Chain A
């Protein structure tokens, strides 16, 4: 594109005014020439008529008397006037006389080429008889001098033209000066100042003192208001931007330095973005090429893939924050790592559904919780289950098994009190520990061995009753195992016995409590007959079998 060159306003005005001046001058010149030629023609006519008035009487007498010398003298006199070109006397009685001024050939040529042709307009004056009635006796004809008309007309025209041009020029210069001083100079000042103002720079246009009460003054005030407004706006914007940048920086710092792994998932559980911490939380080596970007399912990092999938769906459906612990999927030789996962649904500005998630390492807490639970469930001394978790395990077994087969042994150590009294509590504890160890060794890994308190023990044989197991054999093994001497320290060996009550779960409705009571009755039967033996519970008669 062609760029238009910059033309100063003042120059433009000057050009316009000069153009207008020239046009006006040309028009004035033409008009004054036409007018002046016309006027000079009329003036010539008037002058010739005046001449004719002067000579009329003499001329009529000369014609009347047919006096040629007189007519000749008159003609000579008339031709001496510049405005007269030729004089002719005519008479109605054969007297004819004409005198012509010497011809100027060059002038005639010049006139014949010009647009103005002051020829042919002959002025005729009728001549009357000087005596008697007014009767026409002849005429005098005068041709005006073209040269004179032309010269006279030209002179006046030029004079008038010069006059008008001078007037036009003076007017034009005054107008130009007024425009320059009052409008174009202040406008140029405003324009140049505005042009020089750099964006974002606080600068104002100086007020125009001469134009305070017109549009230019108002323009300056308005421009200044706009400039100030713009400046304020820019400043506000800059401050806001700085603030936002500051906040963003802080947020970014938090995002990256937080100990929690942050991530964004799409609806299918694929990773969209994540922070730097997530990598370390998911135990991805620092130098690994595994990029946590698209096409990476978050589920692939955990052992409980189905549960995580369920959690994601749940979060999508409920729209609320869902959370669960998951263990990290990694090589078996490494210690388990537990991560707490928080997931919630977010809908972004474009209407797309995403999931945002937080992951943090809860291994220590999970381990701690496991420890606490273990301590709560197990006897601190022997490491055996307590009564409560044993009952829970029993009930779980009943609930989850179609045809439950379970046999319960309830045991009480015989002679434990004497050991306690004779050797002290520590020895008693030692006895309990040994007894627990021996009980464990007598049953399968899947069976449950529990200590109910004091020297009372309980065993649940899972999937085992009289029909499919040698229950009595197991009971006998236990009694014999406990009877073996126990070394409580380097020097002391003690002997304790055990009374064992047996009951098998036979029908629905038999609770853990009921089974315990039944086993207790059977155990009591053993104790009544002399200890160190076992007895199977029966409703009517029970036979204790003693082993010595």
Chain B
């Protein structure tokens, strides 16, 4: 029993250590750092504008998607998907575009002024993107 608890704790610690996600944006974006709520509202379709007034283009990175939403909203990915399903059904909004690979995310962010994405914080290249928020 004690072993089980210990293993669980270890796994959690490791996961925390490993899963630091960086929310990134275009270098041109002169927005200062964004709050967790601002990021959440952009990714959940509530807000379409960045703090500097540019139209926001949120991008999902499939590999980190469950972890990202979990850290951002404290909800499992299934609920997020269900939410989007209802929103899409009403035809009022669309979910962030889903990208397969981290490099594509970085590339898209660096090429679009309003783009907001997320990648593993270890892979951030400060020459290409700017970090808006770090999700631990």
Contacts and interface: CB of A to CB of B under 8 A. Distances in A.
Q: Do A and B originate from a single complex?
A: yes
Interface stretch (A66-74, A185-193, A298-306, A387-395): A66-74
Contact of B90 (A64, A70, A131, A132): A70
B105 to A, nearest CB: 22
Interface string A222-248: 000000000000000000000000000
Range class of the A interface residue count: 10 to 19
Interface residues of B, number: 17
Contacts of B75: 130-131
Contacts of A73: 90
Nearest to B80: A131
Contact of B40 (A58, A65, A69, A132): A132
B74 A131 contact: yes
Residue in A67, A130, A131 whose Cβ sees the most chain B Cβ within 10 Å? A131
A68 B83 CA distance: 15
A66 B90 CA distance: 12
Contacts of A69: 90-92
Contacts of A356: none
B36 interface: yes
A132 B41 CA distance: 10
A70 B86 contact: yes
A61 interface: yes
B46 interface: yes
A67 B36 CA distance: 22
Given A64-B46, A65-B93, A67-B93, A130 B87 contact: no
A64 B93 CA distance: 12
A132 B86 contact: no
A69 B90 CA distance: 7
Given A131-B40, A131-B75, A132-B37, A67 B90 contact: yes
Contacts of B37: 132, 135
Given A70-B86, A130-B83, A131-B40, A65 B92 contact: yes
Nearest to B87: A65
B73 A67 contact: no
A466 B19 CA distance: 210
A74 to B, nearest CB: 11
Nearest to B36: A132
Contacts of A130: 75, 83
A64 B40 CA distance: 11
Residue in B36, B44, B74 whose Cβ sees the most chain A Cβ within 10 Å? B44
Interface string A100-138: 000000000000000000000000000000111001000
Interface in A127-170: 130-132, 135
Interface of A: 58, 61, 64-70, 73, 130-132, 135
Interface of B: 36-37, 40, 44-46, 72-75, 83, 86-87, 90-93
19 contacts: A58-B86, A61-B86, A61-B87, A64-B44, A65-B46, A65-B87, A65-B92, A65-B93, A67-B93, A68-B92, A69-B90, A69-B91, A70-B92, A131-B40, A131-B72, A131-B74, A131-B75, A132-B37, A135-B37
Given A70-B87, A131-B74, A132-B73, 18 more contacts: A58-B86, A61-B83, A61-B87, A64-B44, A64-B46, A65-B44, A65-B87, A67-B87, A67-B92, A69-B91, A69-B92, A70-B86, A70-B92, A130-B83, A131-B72, A132-B37, A132-B40, A132-B72
What 8 A-B pairs have minimum CB-CB distances, sorted nearest first? Answer: A131-B73, A69-B90, A67-B92, A70-B90, A132-B73, A132-B40, A64-B46, A65-B87
